[in-house]
Amino acid sequence: MTTSQIEELRSQIISTVRDFVKREVVPQAAEHDEHDTYPAELVDQMAEMGLFGITVPEEYGGLGLDHTTYAMVFEELAKGWLSITGPIGTHSILTYAIGKYGSEEQKRRWLPDLAAGKKRGGLALTEPGGGSDVAAMKTTAVRDGKEYLVNGNKLFITNGEHGDVFFLLAKTDLDTDPQHRGITGFIAEKGPGFTAGKHLNKLGYRGVDTTELVLQDYRVPADELIGGAEGQGFYQVMDALETGRINVAARAVGVANAAFEAAIRYAQQRETFGKPIAQRQSIQNMLADMATKIHAARLMTYDAARRKDQGERIDLEAGMAKLYASEICGEVTMDAMRIHGGYGFTKDLPLERYYRDAPLMIIGEGTNEIQRLVIARNLLKRYEV
């Protein structure tokens, strides 16, 4: 695709997504959030729009678009309702891993159905005793002829209930030093021994399923090992999580922007002592800071996306974007609630939902405490003396 063709298609996609969010998502968001119900019809519509295959190459049935478009899509969706990004967010980590590290046979077997949303995927990485400490995972995969026998539990898994196929990480070697060299990645489809467990009741990010996954004597064919060799899983998932951090940063920008736009509209309508509060310097200062933070976060996100498309490893840039965007999202949603005063604290307006959703981006896809460690480690390498 030429640059002009990409730009034209990007414009069409974003326009379509924006219209979908306004027409379909926003009117349903509060109801799904309140009752924690899965938005099946909306997810099916996203599949019809091709959003499950945004970055999947066209030859495998996807849209074949770049990560900048990918980020823009997530921003628009999150602006309407954060949770609607969940089904395609974790799914895209799986398709990235298969697309980059899978064999040609694996790509042709899995990517077309995943790109079309006929099969829906996720990342089976986090465990009850190990989130940030990936190397401490307890799930094991033991070779047994042409299969691996997998046992363990995963936790906080988006698409855990409604997903079909997962990028599953498990230990195939318990004696390696360092431990992460014993981690292997598999393409694992639900079946006997592989089921969804407890559905988690969350503060925010409601409506999308976040569950436990239970693997009990689950057998995965050896030809579903990603990359064709054991011990490559840690490196594969760290690379794939860069795309996850791009989409989490973009989600944070979307939620923050929704809160800002609500606040600046309200500030021009709400009057105190005879004039709109938007004319009060303290409110103007808040609005100026909010808009500046959002703009900076968006630019950082797009920069990481552009670098990813150029084939760079972006631990540093994706980490910075995710860290900054998620932190300012928490700040902006709080400021928007302050501008709204008591009304912002009620469920009559979406401000309280934005505020409840914001912490997900601070915690998810690698906590911000871990992001700071990743950023510092990369900076020390870059400026080594």
Phi, psi of 311 (to 5 degrees): 90, 10
As given in the structure block, the two tokens for residue 108 are 């042709």
Instruction: State which H helix or E strand residue 170 sits in.
Output: strand 165-171
Are 240 and 291 within 8 A, CB to CB? no
How many other C-beta atoms can be found within 10 angstroms of the C-beta atom of residue 370?
16
The SS3 assignment for 138 reads: coil
Question: How far apart, in whole angstroms, are the C-alpha atoms of residue 237 and residue 220?
Answer: 18
Q: Which of 352, 365, 369, 384 does the annotation list as catalytic? A: 365
DSSP per position, 321-385 = HHHHHHHHHHHHHHHHHHHHGGGGGSTTSTHHHHHHHHHHHHHSSS-HHHHHHHHHHHHHHHT--
41 catalytic per annotation: no
Question: How far apart, in whole angstroms, are the C-alpha atoms of residue 56 and residue 192?
Answer: 29
Cβ-based neighbours of 91, under 8 Å, separated by 6 or more: 52, 114, 120, 121, 122, 159, 163
- Would you please indicate which residues are annotated as catalytic (active-site) residues? 365
